[in-house]
Amino acid sequence: MTVVELRGVGRQVERDPLAMAIVLSLLIHLGLYGGWRLGKQLGWWQYHPQWLTQWTRKLSHSAAPRMKPKPPVQAQVLPMTFVEVDPETATAEAPDQAKYYSSKNSKAANPDPKDQLLPKVDGKQDQAVRLMDNEKPKPFPLQPSPPKPPPTEAAAEPKPKSETPEDLALLRKKDPTPAKEALVDTGTGEALAPPKERPRTLAAARAQKAMLSGEKIRQDGGVSAHGQVSFDAKATTFGEYDLAFIVAVEQCWHNLLDEHQGTQRSGKVVVDFRLTYDGRITDLKVQDNEVGEILSMLCQSAILNPQPYPRWPSDMRKTIGGNSREIRFTFYYN
């Protein structure tokens, strides 16, 4: 009986396959829906076996495209405020966290240690960061070249009649370098020390001892380390360059102020600009001006006039990682 019925079904499929496909699809969907409803009533779908969870995770990982995660880009953070470090307070090791950078390392210290974050500085101003009282640079006049002495005829030495081996040996022992003449005071007859050679240019004079002028800053505090007053400052590959650069701008600024006396006012001028690797100044812009156009122009001229500045050293250019850098100068008029 069954065989006959199956054969009949097979003949029906051959006659109308589309209708049989629809019937089979309906039966499959009814079976799936009935199973889902039954599982829902029995609570089968509220629990997930461990093997099913692991298998689902494997399928999701295998289906997802394999992409290597990119390492996070860590931007190099450089200290932005320069502070001059007293050579007596310089240290070999750099501080862990430094707010300032300089040409030398230094660690915060105080003669009277306290448990505070900032060192105490007994200064008179609260504008520029200074740890030393340095006087304003004085104008250095150019010195003319000393006149050359007139040539004098050397006295002819008598020629020996005959040169014996003993005479030749004595000549070899003589020092070929002429003896230096000692300077004598005509009044007392005492020997004087030879005068020191003075630099003939302004740059040479300032290069002998590059120091920033100004008074110490006034700051309350007191760190736990004992020693001469100093800040946490980290030496960089461009610290020496920046010190000479700031000294050059400061010297030019003071010279311009001496030429324009009588226009002094209180306030500040903030100037932003870009310094290129070959020592040029570009994109100069005044961001804040509290003293008027004349004194503001003096600040701009103090930055522009000394250019071109020296080219960057190779280590400095590698550290900065570019052909230019943005700099902000703040000039204070008191």
Three-class HEC string of 221-233: CCCCCECCCECCE
Say if residues 260 and 298 touch (Cβ distance below 8 Å): yes
Residue type, 195: P
| Cβ neighbours of 134 (radius 10 Å) | 14
What predicted TM-score, i.e. pTM, was given to this entire model? 0.56
Residue type, 218: R
Say if residues 103 and 85 touch (Cβ distance below 8 Å): yes
Count the helices and strands in the chain (H runs, E runs).
8, 10
pLDDT tens for 202-252 read 344 444 455 777 778 888 888 888 888 888 999 998 999 999 999 999 999
Q: What angle do CA 202, 203, 205 make, to 5 degrees?
A: 65
Q: Per the structure block, which two tokens stand in for 126? A: 């609260």
Q: Per the structure block, which two tokens stand in for 128? A: 């520029």
Per-residue DSSP letter, 321: T
pLDDT greater at residue 46 or residue 186: 46
Percent of the residues in the chain that have a pLDDT greater than 70, as a whole number: 62
Closest CA to 222 of 99, 111, 328: 111
Q: What angle do CA 205, 210, 213 make, to 5 degrees?
A: 105
CATH of 237-334, one of 1.10.150.20, 3.20.20.100, 3.30.1370.10, 3.30.1150.10: 3.30.1150.10
Q: What angle do CA 326, 330, 332 make, to 5 degrees?
A: 170
Per-residue DSSP letter, 123: -
pLDDT tens for 68-119 read 666 554 445 555 788 888 888 899 999 988 889 998 999 998 888 888 888 8
* β-strand pairing of 81-82 with 100-102: parallel
Q: Where are the domains of the chain?
A: 80-139+201-235, 237-334
